[in-house]
Amino acid sequence: MKKAILARKLGMTQVFTENGTVIPVTVLEAGPCKVVQKKSVEKDGYAAVQVGFGHIRQNLLNKPKAGHLAAHLGKDAAPLRVLKEFRLEDCDQYEVGAEIKADTFVEGERVDISGTSKGKGFQGAIKRHGQSKGPMTHGSKYHRGLGAHGSMIGKVRKGKKAPGQMGNETVTVQNLEVIRTDAEKNIILVRGAVPGIRGSLVVVKNTCKQ
């Protein structure tokens, strides 16, 4: 069964197993995500569940989003910061207004986590692509340059690894293990690192690697 939830990255820490082994984990504030809308094949052409995550002050909510939330959850519904759709196999079992909590995933389950990587600005080819440096000895005038552009005369081959914007792109880390879940505190501990800075939004889904 496909499952998914929105979460916020809180940071990294470590936990210990019963035999004293240290496990580095990322702490995620997973949900609760409220079901805002259900889409069907008959009406929308595809089946999906739209969920909302995070609270925002009413005066910061724009009118289109406020009208959308009021139409599906009522005028007294709490404003939600983020709305996102998930195409799940069993969308019919979700009801509008229901909550998806951290216990939707269990200990030992494998998940894929997508987030926006840290933006590092404009970087050279050595840092951005891991290319080698030139001779660092006395007399060399080419230390951290790009190097040859290839054999094509008068033009640069498409896809050439060159200096440019590094980071700030969607990254997915696959097949991470869920170490612990806490439904009361809406916490999921995942083994290893997760893309993004502290406080950034991530999407947790079932792994596609079975």
Mind listing the pLDDT tens digit of every residue in the chain (210 residues)? 688 899 999 999 999 988 889 999 999 998 788 888 888 888 888 888 899 998 888 888 888 888 888 888 888 888 889 899 988 877 778 888 888 888 888 888 999 999 999 999 999 999 999 999 989 999 988 899 887 887 777 888 888 899 999 999 999 999 999 999 988 889 999 999 999 999 999 999 988 876
Q: Are 88 and 48 in contact (CB under 8 A)?
A: yes
At 47, the amino acid letter reads A
Q: What angle do CA 204, 209, 210 make, to 5 degrees?
A: 110
Three-class SS state of 155: coil
Three-class SS state of 188: strand
Residues composing the chain: 210
Phi first, then psi: what are they for 63, rounded to 5°?
A: -65, -40
The domain over range 4-120+165-206 is classified in CATH as 2.40.30.10: yes
Residue 13: exposed, middle, or buried by beta-carbon count in 10 A (0-12, 13-18, 19+)?
Answer: exposed
Q: What angle do CA 14, 174, 102 make, to 5 degrees?
A: 60
- The pTM of this model reads 0.82
Please write the tens of the pLDDT for every residue from 2-21.
888 999 999 999 999 888 89
**Comparing C-alpha atoms, which of 35, 155, 145, 180 is closest to residue 98?**
35
CA 73 vs CA 7, 43, 85, 114: distances in Å: 21, 19, 16, 28
Please write the tens of the pLDDT for every residue from 29-52.
987 888 888 888 888 888 888 999
**Comparing C-alpha atoms, which of 69, 61, 95, 100 is closest to residue 205?**
100
